[in-house]
Amino acid sequence: MTWQADNGRQLYCLFLSCGCGFWLALVYELFSGIRHSARHRLSVALWDFVFMLVAAVTLFLFALPLTGGKMRWYVLLGVALGFVAFRQTVGRLLHALCRFLAAVLHAACGWGSRLFTPLWRLLSRPAVYLMKKGQNFLKNWKEKCKKPLQHSGKVLYNQDNNN
């Protein structure tokens, strides 16, 4: 059985491929946010590999029923066009929004630390004082509960019998 597509079907597949590329670009933005928070090159490489794996499986599962298992140039072109279209339009807005939210979160954390540090010190000092008092109490209680060894008048072992 051969898979044949007329021009209308090919155009339909091209538009669907653009949607797939749009979706892959959205996933890339999510992975990009995770990558930027990673500190080590190995974790960045791992996230890149995971994205490539997700993209490859998505493209395969998308193209398999659409083209009958044959890779067509218009499918790859549609995915590329959708990816670039997302990155140039919605991706820029999403990126700007994420940077703004990160700046707001960073500022809120700075204000929060200025607000909560004196409160934390005020509340933690009595707790530290009570912990030290509790340690001293347990230490003294342990000393009071110790029973001294009783001294016996004669030694049982290693006794010299020559007296």
**Per-residue confidence band for 1, with pLDDT thresholds at 50, 70 and 90:** very low
pLDDT computed for residue 21 by the predictor? 92
pLDDT computed for residue 101 by the predictor? 79
User: Which pair of structure tokens corresponds to residue 2?
Assistant: 């051969």
The answer to whether residue 93 scores a pLDDT higher than 80 is yes
Eight-state DSSP code of residue 162: T
Residue 102 in contact with residue 110, Cβ under 8 Å? no
Eight-state DSSP code of residue 157: S
Residue 31 in contact with residue 81, Cβ under 8 Å? no
pLDDT computed for residue 64 by the predictor? 86
pLDDT computed for residue 151 by the predictor? 64
Looking up tokens 């919605």 gives 90
The residue among 33 and 153 whose pLDDT is bigger is 33
Average pLDDT over residues 11-40: 84
- Average pLDDT for the chain: 79
User: Environment class of residue 79 by beta-carbon count within 10 Å: exposed (0-12), middle (13-18) or buried (19+)?
Assistant: buried
User: Environment class of residue 90 by beta-carbon count within 10 Å: exposed (0-12), middle (13-18) or buried (19+)?
Assistant: middle
pLDDT computed for residue 83 by the predictor? 92
Rounded Cα distance, 3 and 70, in Å: 9
pLDDT computed for residue 6 by the predictor? 78
Average pLDDT over residues 45-70: 87
